[in-house]
Amino acid sequence: MTATHQDPETAVVAKRADAGEADTEEIRDLAAAAGLTVVDEVTQTRKEDPALCLGEGKVEELARVVTRNGAGCVVFDNRLGPYQTYNLGNQLPEGVEVKDRFRLILDIFGQRAQTKKAQLQVELAELRYELPRVEAKVSLARRDERPGFMGLGEYDESREQDIKKRISRIRDELQRIEDDEEHRREQRRESGFDLVALAGYTNAGKSTLLRQLAADLDVDENEDLHPDLDTTAESRDKLFTTLGTTTRRADMDRRNVLVTDTVGFVSDLPHWLVESFKSTLDAVYRADLVLLVVDVSEPVEDIREKLVTSHDTLYERNEAPIVTVLNKVDKVPPEDVEEKKAALSALAPDPVAVSGKEGLDVDELKRRIDTDLPPYDRERLVLPMSDEAMSLVSWIHDHAHVRDVDYADEVVVDFEARPSIVERARARAADLPLPAES
């Protein structure tokens, strides 16, 4: 089509629904998160057109809407195949970019990726997105036996091989990073820390809740800079504020707990995209306890759908207990909260209802964290009165919850801790030299 003046930062949203009304709220939020200004939308309820996604007449309407608004981008809240993207590009004004929701999510991730690990994960996802499109071009060229067809041919076959090699190299590099992170997690456990992960859909309030649970800012994950690392910052109502992971020490009475905030889930993500960010999700999969945070102010059917999807994602690899946290109770009357608890009881038995924003019932959540984490072992050690014993007592204070210490002719320390810490304390006590006889 004829080129028109287009603003590359403005977008028209398009969505096809198989049945019912096409809801565009989430795709609009995603577009805003990517820095686009949505100026209009075109929706349709019908079966998918294999060539254009929308019907031919609706695509003509879409082209008119794009031209009228001078939009430089069309964002589909659907998964577009390679041929659909190509065909739509031919039907719209020249120069207008066509993105589906997954290309848009990758753009957002790319904007937020600040660390090496995040950048590698984004590149891996982008390559996995591009590979089937390149493969489709190669297939077309081979079928038509025209090496130059659509600008294809030998270039695309070479590009296909380059993508596959780069995917393999990125996987190897991410595996090395994952091994280093797993080593760090085990070091933290050996230092007496329990590991708790926040999981859930984006905008459920995980980052705000982390602020309420955190005791300090001393833990450095060497990950993306998180807005909450600034003590004066407010958690932002913005999709994908957290791309990497942020870990803080929790304010707990009895336990040493590290809480990690992770990237939020998004509905209808394909397996290849979730798998590309497996390294980030390992913080959830390998935690001692998962807090699954949901926005209780949403309609109960939306919450149910998100809980089902979250459970599918978590139970695939996660072995830790899961506590459902109904967040944002400040937005909902108490009777509505109770009704939703009852309606969701099969998916979320015994949830904890809190307001991360207002700090309501966060102490109750801390009690549940303490209760649902793996139990501590209790130990009572009798030690000789010596400098070495005092050093061990200091170590126990750092790694365990000390109930009592009695200093008399001997040192008696009563404490509780992770089983591995108790075993190390026993071993160190057994190695203490006996006091010299006077």
Which residues line the annotated binding site for Mg(2+)?
A: 207, 242
Buried b (16+ CB within 10 A) or exposed e, 396-433: beebbbeeeeeeeeebebebbbbeebbebbeebbeeee
Cα–Cα distance, 183 to 151 (Å, whole number): 48
Cα–Cα distance, 185 to 373 (Å, whole number): 16
Cα–Cα distance, 117 to 332 (Å, whole number): 38
Cα–Cα distance, 214 to 362 (Å, whole number): 11
Q: Is the dihedral of CA 187, 189, 193, 197 positive or negative?
A: positive
Binding residue ranges: 200-207, 242, 261-264, 327-330, 355-357
Terminal alpha carbon distance of the chain: 101
- Angstrom CA distances, 143 to 33, 132, 138, 153, 162, stand at 40, 16, 9, 11, 22
Q: Whose structure tokens read 């924003």?
A: 357
- The helix (H) or strand (E) run that includes residue 395 is helix 387-399
Bridge partners, 44 (sequence order): 16
- The helix (H) or strand (E) run that includes residue 232 is none
Binding residue ranges for GTP: 200-207, 261-264, 327-330, 355-357
Q: 291 near 354, Cβ under 8 Å?
A: no
The upper half-sphere exposure of residue 425, i.e. CA atoms within 13 Å in the direction of its Cβ, equals 33
Residue type, 422: V
Q: Is the dihedral of CA 285, 288, 291, 292 positive or negative?
A: positive
Cα–Cα distance, 280 to 205 (Å, whole number): 18
Q: Whose structure tokens read 């190299």?
A: 169
What single DSSP character describes residue 86?
Answer: H
Cα–Cα distance, 244 to 226 (Å, whole number): 8
Greatest alpha-carbon span in the chain: 102
